[in-house]
Amino acid sequence: MAAMWMCSSLVIWAMVPNFPFLHALVVGACITPTDPVLSNSIVKGKFADKNVPRPLQRIIVAESGANDGLGYPFLYFGLYLLKYIGMGGEGYSGGAGKAIGLWFYETWVYTVILSVVYGIVVGWLSRKLLHWAEEKHYVDRESFLVFAIALSLFIIGTCGLIGTDDLLACFVAGNVFTQDDWFRLETMDDSLQPTIDMLLNLAVFMWFGAVCPWSSFLNNSVIPIYRLIFLGILILLVRRMPIIFAMHKLIHQIEHFYQAAFVGFFGPIGVGAVFYLSVSREFLNQITVDGQVREDAAKVSEAVNVVVWFLVICSIIVHGLCIPLAKAGYHLPRTISQALSTSIIAEPDPVPIANVQHTHSTATRGVGPTNNRNRKRGQAGREPPDPAVFQIGRSVIRTTSSQEQVQVGAATADEPARPVNLIVRENEQDSPQESSNSNSPTPAVEQHV
Confirm whether 391 is domain-assigned. no
Compute CA 365 distance to the chain's CA centroid, rounded to the nearest angstrom: 62
- pLDDT tens digit sequence for 31-70: 998 887 777 767 776 777 777 788 888 888 778 777 777 8
Confirm whether 244 is domain-assigned. yes
pTM here is 0.71
Q: What is the CATH number of the domain that holds 82?
A: 1.20.1530.20
Long-range pairs of 190-195 with CB within 8 A, sequence gap ≥ 24: 190/145, 192/145, 192/146, 193/145, 193/148, 193/149
Looking at residue 419, its pLDDT comes to 57
Confirm whether 8 is domain-assigned. yes
Quick check: 400 and 427 in contact, CB under 8 A? no
Our CA dihedral for 9, 306, 202, 42, rounded to 10 degrees, sits at -30
pLDDT-derived band at 352 (thresholds 50, 70, 90) equals low
Looking at residue 187, its pLDDT comes to 86
Cα distance between residue 371 and residue 353, in whole Å: 12
Write the CA distances from 291 to 283, 294, 300, 344, 423, integer angstroms: 15, 9, 18, 79, 134
Confirm whether 430 is domain-assigned. no
Q: What's the total number of domains in the chain?
A: 1
Does residue 1 register a pLDDT over 50?
yes
Looking at residue 424, its pLDDT comes to 52
Confirm whether 120 is domain-assigned. yes
What is the DSSP track for 143-166? Answer: HHHTHHHHHHHHHHHHHHHHTS-H
In this structure, the strands spanning 444-448 and 421-425 are antiparallel
Nearest to 446 by CA among 415, 413, 424: 424
- pLDDT tens digit sequence for 360-383: 444 444 444 444 444 444 444 455
- pLDDT tens digit sequence for 416-448: 555 555 555 555 444 444 444 444 444 444 444
- pLDDT tens digit sequence for 96-134: 999 999 999 999 999 999 999 999 999 999 999 999 999
| Percent of residues, the chain, with pLDDT higher than 70 | 73
Quick check: 351 and 376 in contact, CB under 8 A? yes
H/E segment holding residue 288: strand 288-289
Confirm whether 401 is domain-assigned. no
Please give the angle made by the CA atoms of 136, 141 and 144, to the nearest 5 degrees.
80
Confirm whether 220 is domain-assigned. yes
Mean pLDDT of all residues in 211-220 = 93
Full domain range(s) for residue 182 = 2-335
Nearest to 303 by CA among 4, 85, 17: 17
Quick check: 133 and 147 in contact, CB under 8 A? no
Mean pLDDT of all residues in 197-205 = 86
Confirm whether 162 is domain-assigned. yes
